[in-house]
Amino acid sequence: MKQRVEINARGETVSFMLVGRFEQQRTRLAALLATGQPIMLLEYDGEQLEQQVKIPVQLPVEEILAMIQFAEWPEAALRQQYGRGAGWSLSLEAKRRQLWHHGALILDLTFSGEHIQVTHYPDSYDVSITTIERKDLQQ
């Protein structure tokens, strides 16, 4: 998957390309500048997150990964991951998903075609994600 990501926080904007490969046991992401130069590489196996920072830029990498998972995972997987026992609750609609923790809204995602608008309430920032290319590589 190739996505254009723009983060707006406290009047500042950071834009980059995100190239991801999502497999059943592993997620790999690379954040790239418009020139193609890598900012960071990330690999997540469901338990351990490894990242290599190529250019020192402050990106909320773990939160971006969680947002993409929250946007892309099927409803059954989200309900399993965010069980009510840990204080999580979900609202999952066709064009909107919300994640709550102990009654406080954490993430609010709205979908419009290949565009996802995310508001991250605890840290007061917005993320705009536009999918440019998506390929299913299953064999």
pLDDT confidence bin for 59, thresholds 50/70/90: low
Q: What is the pLDDT of residue 32?
A: 86
Q: What is the pLDDT of residue 109?
A: 97
Region 32-53 average pLDDT? 82
pTM of the model: 0.76
Residue type, 104: A
Q: What is the per-residue pLDDT across 62-101, written as a single tens digit (0 to 9) for each?
A: 787 788 889 988 898 888 888 767 889 999 999 999 999 9
Q: What is the pLDDT of residue 90?
A: 94
Give the C-alpha distances (Å, rounded to integers) separating 83 from 10, 57, 77, 126, 129.
32, 33, 10, 25, 26
pLDDT confidence bin for 58, thresholds 50/70/90: low
Instruction: Specify the higher pLDDT residue, 18 or 112.
Output: 112
Q: What is the pLDDT of residue 137?
A: 53
Q: Per-domain residue ranges for the chain?
A: 2-133
